[in-house]
Structures are given as structure tokens and as C-alpha cells.
Structure 1
Amino acid sequence: MSKQKLKIGKIINTHGIRGEVKILRITDFEERFTPGNEVIIAADQGDITLTIDSHRIHKGFDLITFKGYTNINKVEQWKGLNLFIDKNQATELEEDAYYYHEIIGCQVQTTEGETLGKVKEILSPGANDVWVVQRPGKKDLLLPYIEDVIKKVDTDTGIISVELMEGMLD
């Protein structure tokens, strides 16, 4: 049985010749890339668990090296692959905070019970996240993650109750 994993980023390129890789981060937890932490690469030949040796930020991207991988030739094969952590490594969140995997796929309905669609992705453009709801046969609905709109999130049932503001469905 495979362990449950949470996606934290993607290796988008190599950097230099000493085994450094450029990561597109999809986690809010910067400490995920602290040297000594373990990450998992889901490769064709199976999962590879690696220990982070170094981390720095360069031009808005995370650059990391792995213990035992000090050459571009050893890491180039991982370009385009996703980075994960074991679900047991997940940090406890404060109330009304959710992991992306808990929200994506949830059914969205109005407080009156009208089903709008399912959350297909989460955007982080600035002050607050925006939940993208895929609606059958219609344009995607963009819901800002604010108290006035998101009224109740039940991750156990997978249902999110919302109160739409005027003009949101246009």
C-alpha cells in the first residue's frame, strides 16, 4: 500500500552544475525546504525519498540540493517531476485554515442549497486566495476566500456553503 502524499512543489529545472534544482513551490510553509527535511519525488521507477542538503531563494524560486546528489547529471532526470511530503509531515493548521487538497474537489453550494459546482483549483493572487469553481456547461466561478462569501467549509462531507455577492455569477 502506498503512503499518502501531499504535493509541495515541482522541479522545473536544474540550476548550475552542482546538483541544485529550481522548485516551483505550491506550499505556504517555507520551512518545508529546511535542510535536513525529507521530500519524496514520484518518479517512473517509484518514489524516491531524499534529504534536503541546502535551500536558498533566487528570483522568487526555491533552489535546493539533496544529500548525495552533487552533480547536474544526477538530478537532471527529475526535471518536471513533483515533490511531495508524507501526509504525516503535515503541519497542524489553525481554525478556518485548510490545505489545498482538502478544498480541491469539494462541492460548492449556496446557503439556499443550490449546487454551483466543484472547486478545481486555488489561486493565490494576493491578499486572499481565490477558489476556482468548475460549473457544468458554464464559465468557471471565482470565489474569494473571505468571510462574506465562504460561509461554511465541511471537509468531512466535502461541501462548501457560500453566499454569493451581487455580480459574482455574471
Structure 2
Amino acid sequence: MLVGKIGKVYGILGWINFFSFTEIKEKIFNYYPWFILKNKKWESIQLKNWKQHKNHFIIQINNVIDRSIANTWTNTDIFIDKNNLPKLKKDEYYWHDIIQCKIFNTKNQYLGIVINLISNQYNDIMIIQNNLKKQNIKDIMIPFINQKIIKNIDIKNKTIIVKWN
């Protein structure tokens, strides 16, 4: 499961900018081991150190000791085994559970499939790959507001009912 991304090099001692995709950003450091896909093979990576830096983090990876080595890690996605995530209570779900859910409105019209979720300061937003051929809209953006817009989420059957035209 994708949980973060390595950015540009920071300084000359092998530090690298790192962006966490977890809801509580610091929790990323509780979910070890981390994996990368390199040359079509999964490899585990070990952190030497990490620090908060502005609105993201900087990290040191074991055996990455200078800027030139650190530069080879730029734009690397970080994955974890989803079994390492905390167990959820009934009717709770992770964002990755929402991806690929089919979206229907309350009139039982199929709107499309969830391809992404984004967060802003007001609420989360589902990005739906549009299936309405009559509209010239590529994707539909639906606010993820429980009860008001999101009427039902069935993770087992991968369906979501929304109040949306």
C-alpha cells in the first residue's frame, strides 16, 4: 500500500525530503518495514533518522551518506504491507478501501468508480471516473461528507451510495 513519497535531496549529508500520505503524518514512522519497487523487485529500506521539516519530513536512509547517493532516491514511492495498519472498528475504513468502489446516486444511477481521494482544509473529496456519457466531464468530484452526501458505504461489495445528481 502506497504511504509516502521521497522528494528532492536536502543538503549534502544524504538527507532527503519525504512526504507522508497518512492522515496523521507522523504515524508513517510507526508502519515498518517500508518497501520500494526497484528493478521490478520489492526491497525493504531502513531509516537511519527522520525530522519534521516545515509541512513534511526529511529522512536519512541507511547507507545513504551523501547528496549524490541520495539523489538516486528522488521520486521513489514508499509502500507498506497493509496488514501493518491498525485494525479498524466496525464501519471504519481506510482510503485504499474506498478506491475502486462503484458510485451510485440515491436514484440508483451508476456514476462511475472512485479513482482517488484528496483532502483539503474543509473536507475530503472523492474523484470519480465519470461514466455519464451525456456529460462532457472527465471526472466527477464529490465531497466526502457523511450523512449529508455519502449515504451508504459497503466496503464488502465495493459500493457507495451518494446524494448527487
TM tier relative to shorter chain: 0.7 to 0.9
TM-score (norm 2): 0.85
| In 1, Cα distance between equivalents of 2:118 and 2:40 | 32
1:62 equivalent in structure 2: 57
User: Partner of 2:72: helix, strand, or coil?
Assistant: helix
Q: After superposition, what is the alpha-carbon deviation per residue over 1:2-33, rounded to whole angstroms, capped at 9, x for unaligned?
A: xxxx1011112111122211123221142212
| Correspondence list, 1:29-108, <5 A | 29=24, 30-33=26-29, 37-44=32-39, 46-108=41-103
| In 2, Cα distance between equivalents of 1:102 and 1:16 | 37
| In 1, Cα distance between equivalents of 2:46 and 2:89 | 28
Tell me the number of residue pairs that the alignment of Structure 1 and Structure 2 aligns. 159
Tell me, yes or no, if the aligned pair for 2:9 and 2:17 is still in contact at 8 Å: yes
| In 2, Cα distance between equivalents of 1:22 and 1:124 | 21
Equivalent residue for 1:130, pick from 125, 132, 137: 125
Which aligned runs of 4 or more in structure 1 are off by greater than 4 angstroms?
none
Tell me, yes or no, if the aligned pair for 1:122 and 1:129 is still in contact at 8 Å: yes
> After alignment, is 22-31 or 150-159 more displaced?
22-31
2:163 equivalent in structure 1: 163
Deviation for aligned residue 1:111? 2.4
Tell me, yes or no, if the aligned pair for 1:37 and 1:52 is still in contact at 8 Å: no
Identity %: 27
Deviation for aligned residue 1:129? 0.5
Deviation for aligned residue 1:95? 4.6
Tell me, yes or no, if the aligned pair for 2:20 and 2:28 is still in contact at 8 Å: no
Listed as ranges, the gaps of 5+ residues in structure 1 are: 1-5
Equivalent position amino acid for 1:110 in 2: N
Deviation for aligned residue 1:54? 1.6
TM-score (norm 1): 0.82
User: Partner of 1:78: helix, strand, or coil?
Assistant: coil
1:110 to 1:21, Cα distance in 2 relative to 1, 3 A: same
Cα RMSD for the two superposed structures: 2.0
Equivalent position amino acid for 2:22 in 1: T
Tell me, yes or no, if the aligned pair for 1:135 and 1:141 is still in contact at 8 Å: yes
| In 2, Cα distance between equivalents of 1:73 and 1:126 | 36
Deviation for aligned residue 1:90? 1.4
